[in-house]
Amino acid sequence: MAIEAKLNDIIQAAVSQRASDIYWLPTAEGYQILIQTTGSLRALAQMTTERAQQLMNHIKYRSNMAISDHRRPQLGAMTLILEKQTLNLRISAVGDFLDRESLVVRLLYEGESQALQYLIPRQRQQLSQLMHRTGLILFSGPMGAGKTSTMYDLVRQLRGQRLVMTIEDPVEIYEPQFLQLQVNSPAQMAYADLLKVGLRHHPDVFIIGEIRDAETAKIAVQAALSGHLVLSTIHARGVYGIMPRLAQLGVAPAVLEQALTAMSYQRLVPVTDGSVATIFDTVVMPHKIPQTTQMMTERWAQLIDEQLAAGRLDHATANQLKEA
């Protein structure tokens, strides 16, 4: 019970700061526990190697992972209820060259998108209006920026009106009114495989967790061109980095121009009142893309200055956002 109580204390501390991940990382003296929140790492605790290993073994046991294997990569999952809040945990463990194990716990909050706060409410209204169109809408931003939460929040307004299918790795938010599919590569259920099957169900709306390869990009674009509303995420450093990224994945510019409805870059930022909120740099097509290396629109800097002047952002956060 002492180990489980300690684990609950660590997770509760992370949840209170709305962390997305908890890290158990080896050091020269023992282990450090870090949390990822609002785009930065914060130290949570230090402990002995023995104590850390006990906690990691407990997590692995509850996640159906091999406790005796401390070096090979392992993945697992578990569900935890803390103070009536259900948390879905995704576990990743691997050992370093000295056979010291590291472990990461991804925290998935049920109903997270319902609590999503928009720094500029009119940005939510703009994105919401796009849900009544067809085509491809892409979201980029750093890990933990809330991209999946944003997509769910926006599409929930269509519940009961349209058939919504999600394809994710893993399913992060449970929504009983959506048809939710989960990637399972060993069972030949990759993103592209599930997309092909999903199209036969004729959904009105697709949420694709991530476009990460050429085949998924191609099928997502085809679905958008055939009259579906497709929302997905893609890795890019800014809103103007999305189209070049798709070009790298083999999507022809002329085809993308027809399929793309909007693209958005988002960040989760600390607000001066102590909360966290999402801010977006959104481009709705058609839009003239600048022939430069800039990643963000000119409007991005203006929005940050407006929020700084209104006292909602501090100078450090504003400067960090402008350097995106």
CATH 3.30.450.90 domain span(s) along the chain: 2-109
CATH 3.40.50.300 domain span(s) along the chain: 112-322
State the DSSP H helix or E strand holding residue 147, giving kind and residue range, or none if neither.
Answer: helix 147-155
Share of the chain above pLDDT 70, in %: 97
Q: What is the CATH number of domain 112-322?
A: 3.40.50.300
183 pLDDT more than 80: yes
Pick the CATH number of 2-109 from 3.10.290.10, 3.10.450.50, 3.40.50.800, 3.30.450.90: 3.30.450.90
Residues across the chain = 324
| Per-residue pLDDT tens digits for 151-174 | 999 999 998 889 999 998 878 788
113 pLDDT more than 50: no
Least confident of 19-28, 83-92, 266-275: 83-92
Predicted confidence band of residue 324 (pLDDT cuts 50, 70, 90): low
280 pLDDT more than 70: yes
Predicted confidence band of residue 298 (pLDDT cuts 50, 70, 90): very high
